[in-house]
Structure 1
Amino acid sequence: MSWYDTVFEVIDMRSFSNLWYWIALAVLWSSVSHWVLGVPFDMILRARRDKDDAGEAMADLQDLVRVNVNRILYIAEVSGVWLILFGSAVLTGLGVMAVLYDVEFAQATLFLALPMTILGLLSVWTSRKIRATAPAGRDLIRRLMTHRMMTQMLGVVSIFVTAMFGMYRNLHVVPFPN
């Protein structure tokens, strides 16, 4: 048996039957729902617990949101067209390989990349609303919590669709011959 056969026997290269893929999916969605526009969720909770809107936690939250909103919108304005161009090319390539050529790795990657693209667009949209309305205090917390709720709903739908497709794929794939 060659080293190549040994590696592929030990590491299952089929994505949807690989435990590491599901761990990566869980970590990905856990991370993006914890970081709301680049702001840690515990910081939002600490600012929400403050009795007044002039506390140090609220000031820190507003400063961090301002910095991250400006960063997200700067990236979108400066290189947004290129990001859309390259992102759509990558997603199209993954889609073609996933649908037409039935490449499981491309399918698994598409199930990770497509929702992250939607989340990126949602983050730009929320950042633009925050810059346009300039909410402060409780209104800012409400806007961030709404963004987090939409992120979590996108995550639930994404995980559900990925799990259903992964189960379908695992039940209808002929195992490797020995």
Structure 2
Amino acid sequence: MPARRLPSWIWVTGLTTAAIVAVTALAAQADQGAHPTAAHAAGAKPSASASPRPSASAKKNEPVAVPDGSGTGRRIVYSLAQRRVWLVDTGEAVRRTFAVWPGTVSPAPGRYAVSTTVPSTTGTDGTKVENIVYFTVASGVNIAFSNAQDGSSPQPAAGVKTGGIRMHSADGDAVWAFGTKGTKVTVTK
């Protein structure tokens, strides 16, 4: 008696099912591995003075505490040493925290308030920026939070005094919505 042949649709269905199972297993396995940071995925090149990486004390998936002595109430907190910003609501809950890239001129530690906001302009370094939230002046340079319109992370401009504290676009949107005129800003060491 001759061997009976299986129809081709059974083979195709079986191979397709096996492929889906294999891809699902590999995807689950890959999800357990290391993930690149947003700065690496965007192709950013960190420099010694403007690193896109959070401070070494910040562990992955561990919340970064608001610096002690940063005040109370609704405020924006900016840590010079950690290169990090926190948006703190009236109930002292952190609504958002993220790493930033400071300009070449830094504000002195202290308490300030948002003085004005500008939707978009060109920064001192020639970069088109948006979501500009100004809060002080240092060494004759306006200090403000902002993000590059093209989403890039800035490289310090050689020989140019810059006061922009730059961030990713999504973080810039959050600061823009949170940092209305008069919002408290605390700068810590």
Question: By the TM > 0.5 criterion, same fold?
Answer: no
Larger Rg: 2
**Greater helix share, 1 or 2?**
1
TM, length-normalised to structure 1:
0.23
TM, length-normalised to structure 2:
0.22
Higher relative contact order (CA 8 A, sep 6+): 1
**Greater strand share, 1 or 2?**
2
